[in-house]
């Protein structure tokens, strides 16, 4: 098993907050490639995991 930690900014250089859809895109990419991801969003963890072809 490998652990990858990706830290993302909450806003761009102009201070405009990123929308939820931006974070969903980043979360879904590794979920599709690695069959799982857990996001710690400063609250209880949120996860997307797959087993075989089901998720």
Chain length of the chain: 55
Domain segments of the chain as ranges: 20-49
User: Which pTM does this prediction carry?
Assistant: 0.54
- Region 16-45 average pLDDT: 82
Q: Which residues of 28-45 are buried (b: 16+ CB within 10 A; e: fewer)?
A: eebbeeeeebebeeeeee
Could you list the beta-strand ranges (E) of 1-55. 36-39, 46-49
Q: How far, in whole angstroms, is CA 55 from its chain's centroid?
A: 15
Task: With a cut of 80, say whether residue 33 has pLDDT above it.
Answer: yes
pLDDT for 43 equals 63
> What pLDDT digit, counting tens, does each position of 7-19 carry?
788 888 899 999 9
Q: Mind giving me the DSSP string for 21-55?
A: HHHHHHHHHHHHHHSEEEE--SSS-EEEE-BTTB-
């Amino acid at each position: 098993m490998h652990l990858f930690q990706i830290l993302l900014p909450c806003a761009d250089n102009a201070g405009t907050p990123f929308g939820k859809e931006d974070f969903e895109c980043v979360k879904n990419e590794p979920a599709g490639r690695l069959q799982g991801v857990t996001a710690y969003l400063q609250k209880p963890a949120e996860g997307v995991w797959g087993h075989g072809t089901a998720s």
